[in-house]
Amino acid sequence: GAVVSQHPSWVICKSGTSVKIECRSLDFQATTMFWYRQFPKQSLMLMATSNEGSKATYEQGVEKDKFLINHASLTLSTLTVTSAHPEDSSFYICSASHTGSGEKLFFGSGTQLSVL
Amino acid sequence: DAKTTQPTSMDCAEGRAANLPCNHSTISGNEYVYWYRQIHSQGPQYIIHGLKNNETNEMASLIITEDRKSSTLILPHATLRDTAVYYCIVRAIAGKSTFGDGTTLTVKP
């Protein structure tokens, strides 16, 4: 199947710093990518829909100025957690929609963010 | 997007079929049923999807009722490695995917 690469797998940062997470579709072009966060023993919560060449669409309650999403190319979307705080510690997962396979979503392996 | 309802947890004996139900009574005509699974601390893995016909692939079978208000994922011969959280999602083409709570399937020896 199609491959989505997400980096880094884990990151530890100090409170107040910014962290960038990359999501790449390796063998297909993804017009649309999605960003999720997941707390321990909970389901995935959709944060935003990232569309290539346009502004991201954020879900209700997600601060767009805190979670900056850029989708500058058909194979790369980035999520930047700005001025991170301990409550932002979570598992962040991206997914890309593959039009050529019935609009399946392929997921990255996730990024565990720990803010000290 | 339509919501889905799944049992919180299920057990299955190794080698037996695992049947995971999902209710999606408010599904729209243009929404597909997708199944994913997530093993601890990994990204979800695609299993199968369908619109209204039953589907089968190398991993599983998907049975969708005629009124499309519910579906069942069938793992024909469950193994210990099938232990995971299984998510049923309804989604239109180019639509967003909202995850429910899923079913934790535990395959026991």
pLDDT of residue A53: 84
Subunit contact A103:B94, Cβ cutoff 8 A? yes
Among the ranges given (A68-82, A97-111, B78-92), the one the predictor scored with the smallest mean pLDDT: A97-111
pLDDT at A82 over 60: yes
Subunit contact A46:B98, Cβ cutoff 8 A? yes
**Average pLDDT score over chain B:** 93
In angstroms, what separates the C-alpha of A83 from chain B's closest C-alpha?
Answer: 25
Amino acid at A99: T
Question: Which whole number is the average pLDDT over A26-45?
Answer: 92
Q: Work out the pLDDT band at A18, boundaries 50, 70, 90.
A: very high
The pLDDT tens digits of the residues spanning A84-99 come to 999 999 999 999 988 7
Which residues in chain A touch residue B36, judged by CB atoms under 8 angstroms apart?
Answer: 105, 107
Using CA coordinates, name the residue in chain B closest to A2. B46
Task: Please give the structure tokens belonging to residue B11.
Answer: 């057990």
Which residues in chain A touch residue B32, judged by CB atoms under 8 angstroms apart?
Answer: 102-103
pLDDT at B2 over 60: no
Using CA coordinates, name the residue in chain B closest to A42. B101
pLDDT of residue A30: 87
3 state DSSP class of A54: coil
pLDDT at B1 over 70: no
Out of B42, B96, B102, the one facing A46 most closely (by C-beta) is B96
pLDDT at B12 over 90: yes
**What pairs with residue B22 in β-bridges?**
B71
Between chain A and chain B, the number of residue pairs with CB atoms below 8 A apart is: 55
Q: Which residues contact B50 (CB under 8 A, 6 or more apart)?
A: B32, B33, B62, B64, B71
Closest CA to B62 of B103, B21, B6, B12: B21
